[in-house]
Structure 1
Amino acid sequence: MLVIVSVGNHPRLRLAPSSSREIADLTGEDRRQAVLDAQQREQNNRRPLAPAESINALTVGAVHDDASGANPQGYALDPTDGLPSLSPISATGSGYRRSIKPDLVANGGRVIFRDPPTPQDAIAFTSLPSLGPGIRVATPTQNKEAFIVGTSPAAALVTRQAARVYDLVGEITAGRPINRRQRASAIKALLVHGTGFPPDLSTDPLARESALGNGVVQRDYADGCATNEAVVLFVGSIGAAQEQELLFPLPDGLNIREAKRIDATLAWLSPVNWRHRQYRRASLAFVKPTGSIPKLQTPSGLPSDTTTRGASTVQHQSWELSSAFGAGQGSNMVVRVKCFEQAGGLAGQQVDFAVALSLWVAPTVNVDVYNQVKTQIETRVAVRPQ
């Protein structure tokens, strides 16, 4: 099964050499940056809380955002002064052996802090349960509803999305053999595949992967795709020292110089050896997509060595290109998945995995990517010789 866990909260932030009064007196970008600088200075004391470092679990952090229309008033102050940012209470750092944790982040509600009468060397973040802002939830109190903040509601929102993706995976694999570990890996891959890095969301000086993991949840693939994009889900099993080639059929109409994006996400549940320091027994990775596409340059998201380091069980990368290339019916984009054994080896055991691979083209190209890819997949032979 797929376990979804919050990365943990640190509601108190030490500000030294600044003070609470200095933070309160700042506005806009200056206040947001001062809070981020304090988070970076205190990072060693604000690391993920157990069991957030679990290698197979999907760990969720929080961004300072919500859908509430309420804004802090009076002595209640917004630590980012309305600008998008990492939540000031979300834990940051990395997982076991410097693997990416959290895996992704979602809305955790906007926290507030109060300017005390005398300057303090730390501030405590909280919510206004009856007024907001924050994430609105059911409560047994008289009002029946309250606003909460933190990584727990962020994890709850991701869990709700995972339930929808579970139904989606069931629909698209109906009539095809798929085991529980492959299904869990598919949900994990599709959740991470829908992440990205909003350009206006700042984390500096915190490393982006330490603050946001693979990115902010931006898409729910249970809602489907637009006609100018297609996502193909692959599920399978692989053994040690093996390689599998995955083919993504390409549509016609890509011979136009216009924006295009390729995203690839690999997820698996690794067997573990708790007696070995490497712990993870199965190390999977994909190489940069090739085939009937131009040579891809530097990823637009996290670099490859960051996404594969440590004991990670997710690899997510994106590439943006604008070149024209002659592809169409019968041509493919190729992704190769490799498996290496660690921590004492797999002893012949197969590892279940899932890969989400997508192609997006600018709507101005006017190419029906979705239906062209769908038609090619439906007409191909289902089983290929190994």
Structure 2
Amino acid sequence: METLEKVGKGWFGAFFYEVLLDGLPLMNHRRLAGRLIVDDPDGWAEHYPANHRLHGTAMASIILHGELDAKEPALSRPVYVRPILKPSHHFSSPPPECIPDDYLVVDLIHRAVKRILTGDGEEEAVAPSVRIINLSVGDPDRPFIHEMSPWARLLDWLAYEYNVLFIVSAGNQVGPIEIPGVTETQLKSLSSKQMTKSVLEAIRSDSANRRILSPAESMNALTVGASHEDSSACGSGVSNQVDPLPLADFNRPTIWGSSGRKSGSPSIVLPGLPSPINGLGLGYRRAIKPEVLLPGGGRLIRSSYYLQTPPYWRRIAMPLPQVSRWLNRELNWVTMMVMVTVASTSNAAALASRIGGQLYEVLLQLQHQPHGDRLEEIYFPVLIKALLVHGSQWDKAYDVVAEVLPDPGKGGSKKDGVSRFLGYGRVFYERLLHCTEYRATSLGFGEIGDEQTHRFAFPLPPSLSGKKVWRRLTVTLAWLTPVNVNTYQYRGAKLWLNPPADTLDVKRKEVFWQSAKRGTVQHEILEGDEAAVFEEDGMLVIDVSCRGEAVDLNEPIRYGLAVTLEVAEGCMFSIYNEIKERIPQPVRIRV
């Protein structure tokens, strides 16, 4: 691991695009050596023992390598690390890493970001090319309740002022989960569906106490929650374990052995189910928060039952601090799940930052394609933000979560309730990095002023006209907005689009369309399978509009747009090649 003093300022600034604000990582770890540049201007390393450097090491590893069990290649560029956490004075071993008590978090973050991007005092910027900042940290004493926290407001201002994307974890809720009326014997015999439903119902009942944590409500940041999954093929070595969300395609007992799943038990967890540790949305003015889910680890509980009058529970430290574990207790016929965790949503946010780094490389490659000279790096933050959300969807997780929500009444919808758990859904990031002959993605970007509209015309594949085949249109718009902290509206710029549903005879799915317009990412999925007829030179026209809200827009707003058209695999034609052949020139028209 290199230090800033060793490599010298300015030498590396041109190729940095990612920052980790976290705990101090382990020096010279075999997976990190030579891949990190650590900037420690306050000299915290001297009082940061190696055996306490857990969180920063884990986050750096995930950003660079992803989940180790997945065996993915490392990022090609180093990551800049600025420590903002220190070991606390705590009786546990190792002590938790947190923002020091003698620092104001807003001052610490502001100084760190300013030093990186513009310089601090007379010193020049140490990494001015950075476009992504990972913040897998939250305030457990500041859950989001109606008002924006100072930390979130700072991130919103920094993101817009310096044109940088913050990727923030939703926050971990480690309080007990109460499942009334379930005894030890009943718990062991629950089917996968019954266990999953019981846990999600318990979380929903306690949702007021399980909200996202500051600064996850930030309007400009991309907030990431955890899905209940990982690439591990074995258990954690503790006997009598239970998976709290074990839903698979069949009903089986859900007890695990010490070496993994028992023979005949479910082997596949439904992708996209929210982790029980997640802080729940929504965000400010009911904006979608967290926007996306990514694998944060499959958590297990260990059965250990007690009956007490009056009932009580307590946390128990587990022997392996790098592994999150669950402790299950029965209290007066109420099952309590108490979690001691390292930070599941932190893992998910770090994974999102890793994908952001991969998307950065893809955008750099696109600069060398025809018309790539128009793709300037100033648009990378909003394009990466749009693309990270672009790969998300609810899929089958919607049915599981919707089943535990109360009936919204006549004319109501469960979609807003599902959004609190899923956001826009789990990111299937493999779809972001490449197209197929049945799936084509186009990008748009620009700067738009108040009361302006930009029109994008994307070519349609002629072979699709008149064909009765399943198709999906996914449209994602993202931007960074100025904010006004003195008004309830807060958001300075509202951008929106209306998907061209009629052109392809497709209908909106998943997130309620009005909810999608409340933040700084609008993500819509439309599907259909009826024949749609259009001209041979037909175009898919999308208008991006802008209007000032809480501020007078004196500067144009940068935005990124991602549009994907896909058809059922096995079709007799390649929509990718047909679309590519019909893009001879830039497609944006200013209105």
CA contact (8 A) 1:249 1:373 kept: yes
Could you tell me which runs of 5 or more consecutive residues in structure 1 were left unpaired when the two chains were aligned: 135-146
Deviations 1:75-132 (A, max 9, x none): 3221123543321111112111110000100111111122223156769799885997
Aligned to 2:478: 267
SS in 1 for 2:384: helix
- Aligned pair 1:203/2:401, yes or no? yes
Per-residue deviation, 1:19: 5.6
Aligned to 2:209: 45
- Aligned pair 1:164/2:164, yes or no? no
Aligned to 2:575: 369
- Aligned pair 1:29/2:193, yes or no? yes
RMSD over aligned CA atoms reads 2.7
Aligned to 1:11: 174
- Distance across 1 between alignment mates of 2:347 and 2:277: 13
Equivalent in 420, 427, 440 of residue 217 of structure 1: 427
Aligned to 1:141: none
Per-residue deviation, 1:372: 1.3
Count of aligned pairs = 368
CA contact (8 A) 1:23 1:34 kept: no
- Distance across 1 between alignment mates of 2:234 and 2:355: 25
Per-residue deviation, 1:220: 3.3
- Distance across 2 between alignment mates of 1:26 and 1:256: 46
User: Which deviates further from its counterpart, 319-328 or 171-180?
Assistant: 171-180
Aligned to 1:150: 344
- Distance across 1 between alignment mates of 2:199 and 2:504: 42
- Distance across 1 between alignment mates of 2:315 and 2:505: 49
- Distance across 2 between alignment mates of 1:385 and 1:317: 23
CA contact (8 A) 1:189 1:267 kept: yes
Q: Greater RCO between the two (CA within 8 Å, min separation 6)?
A: 1
Aligned to 1:80: 245
SS in 2 for 1:3: strand
Equivalent in 328, 333, 339 of residue 546 of structure 2: 339
Q: Which has the larger radius of gyration?
A: 2
AA aligned opposite 1:30: Q
Judged with a 3 Å threshold, the aligned counterparts in structure 2 of structure 1 residues 360 and 68 are, in CA distance, closer, same or farther, namely: same
Counterparts of 1:71-220 in structure 2, within 5 Å, are 71=235, 74-81=239-246, 83=248, 84=270, 85-119=273-307, 129=320, 150-174=344-368, 175-199=372-396, 202-204=400-402, 205=404, 207-220=417-430
Judged with a 3 Å threshold, the aligned counterparts in structure 2 of structure 1 residues 24 and 279 are, in CA distance, closer, same or farther, namely: farther
AA aligned opposite 1:36: L
User: Which deviates further from its counterpart, 66-75 or 36-45?
Assistant: 66-75
AA aligned opposite 2:200: L
AA aligned opposite 1:47: R
Equivalent in 355, 361, 364 of residue 561 of structure 2: 355
Per-residue deviation, 1:276: 1.7
CA contact (8 A) 2:454 2:589 kept: no
Judged with a 3 Å threshold, the aligned counterparts in structure 2 of structure 1 residues 93 and 7 are, in CA distance, closer, same or farther, namely: same
Per-residue deviation, 1:340: 1.3
- Distance across 1 between alignment mates of 2:376 and 2:219: 20
Judged with a 3 Å threshold, the aligned counterparts in structure 2 of structure 1 residues 169 and 32 are, in CA distance, closer, same or farther, namely: same
Counterparts of 1:247-258 in structure 2, within 5 Å, are 247-254=457-464, 255-258=466-469
- Distance across 2 between alignment mates of 1:216 and 1:123: 32
SS in 2 for 1:176: helix
- Distance across 1 between alignment mates of 2:345 and 2:207: 17
The share of aligned pairs that are identical, in percent, is 31
Could you state the TM-score of these two structures normalised by the residue count of structure 2?
A: 0.58
Judged with a 3 Å threshold, the aligned counterparts in structure 2 of structure 1 residues 121 and 341 are, in CA distance, closer, same or farther, namely: farther
Deviations 1:51-88 (A, max 9, x none): 10000101000111111001366332211235433211
- Distance across 2 between alignment mates of 1:313 and 1:240: 16
User: Which deviates further from its counterpart, 165-174 or 251-260?
Assistant: 165-174
Per-residue deviation, 1:279: 1.1
AA aligned opposite 2:575: V
- Distance across 1 between alignment mates of 2:314 and 2:524: 37
SS in 2 for 1:354: strand
- Distance across 1 between alignment mates of 2:555 and 2:440: 33
CA contact (8 A) 2:293 2:425 kept: yes
SS in 1 for 2:462: coil
CA contact (8 A) 1:43 1:93 kept: no
CA contact (8 A) 1:18 1:121 kept: no
Aligned to 1:306: 515
Judged with a 3 Å threshold, the aligned counterparts in structure 2 of structure 1 residues 80 and 373 are, in CA distance, closer, same or farther, namely: same
Deviations 1:303-337 (A, max 9, x none): 2112113xx00010111111222336421011111
CA contact (8 A) 2:292 2:424 kept: yes
AA aligned opposite 2:401: T
Equivalent in 366, 380, 386 of residue 585 of structure 2: 380
CA contact (8 A) 2:438 2:566 kept: yes
Judged with a 3 Å threshold, the aligned counterparts in structure 2 of structure 1 residues 220 and 2 are, in CA distance, closer, same or farther, namely: farther
Deviations 1:12-43 (A, max 9, x none): 22316446746455331111111101100111
Deviations 1:341-372 (A, max 9, x none): 111321x2100101101110112322211111
Could you tell me which runs of 5 or more consecutive residues in structure 2 were left unpaired when the two chains were aligned: 1-163, 249-269, 326-340, 406-416
- Distance across 1 between alignment mates of 2:227 and 2:510: 18
SS in 2 for 1:117: coil
Aligned to 1:142: none
AA aligned opposite 1:214: Y
CA contact (8 A) 1:195 1:214 kept: yes
Judged with a 3 Å threshold, the aligned counterparts in structure 2 of structure 1 residues 109 and 133 are, in CA distance, closer, same or farther, namely: same
Judged with a 3 Å threshold, the aligned counterparts in structure 2 of structure 1 residues 24 and 369 are, in CA distance, closer, same or farther, namely: same
Aligned to 1:140: none
AA aligned opposite 1:380: Q
CA contact (8 A) 2:505 2:531 kept: no
Aligned to 1:2: 165
